Amino acid sequence: MSEEQQTPFKTLGDRLKVIRQKLHESVVEVSGAVEIDEQTLQRIEQGQERPSEEILMLLINHFGIQEDDAANLWQLAGYDRPHDHDREETTATNNNRSMIMIMAVDPRIIYSDGAQVSANSQGVVVNFSQGAGTPQALTTARIGMSREQAYALVQTLQRTLDSSQPRQLPASSDAAEADKKRKS
């Protein structure tokens, strides 16, 4: 059996591995984030296994891959057009196709027991993790936001904890107003 037959998705696997390594993430971190076992991710990266459309979409979203690069990964996986069955066509007279943006919505809640916060003049990044204080701590989510939004988040968290009622963050303009009030 030739190497190409053993690793039919080698180019796809190599690209995914390079992306993961550029983001300084381990196989354990990525497999945990997209909820597949480590061996499956390793087989995908080695080109031995093609990820399902769902897993490929989760990897694309997890890595924050831009549209053109994502389309390239879809083609390498043999999925020429993401979700062709979801595409709509306009009237046959003008032969145009509607553009549909596909965004994966993941309703799962990932609980964390640790958070690392870093900030600079541009904004704030919060890394949530599981297993805080252990050598195997796993980053489960990274959230970036403006400083104004971070202040609004702190206020919203405090009000929510005080009242034990769920609340939503104010819109960006409201966040800027909250920051001005806080500074005065």
Q: What is the mean pLDDT of residues 66-84?
A: 78
**Domains in the chain, ordered, with CATH?**
3-83 (1.10.260.40), 112-145 (no CATH), 147-184 (no CATH)
Angle at 57 (CA atoms; ends 53, 118), nearest 5 degrees = 160
Q: Rounded CA gap, 122 and 9, in Å?
A: 40
pTM of the model: 0.45
Q: Give the pLDDT band of residue 43 (cuts 50, 70, 90).
A: very high
Closest CA to 104 of 52, 144, 139: 52
Q: Are strands 138-145 and 124-130 parallel, antiparallel or unpaired?
A: antiparallel
User: Would you call 75 helix, strand, or coil by DSSP?
Assistant: helix
90 or 82, greater pLDDT: 82
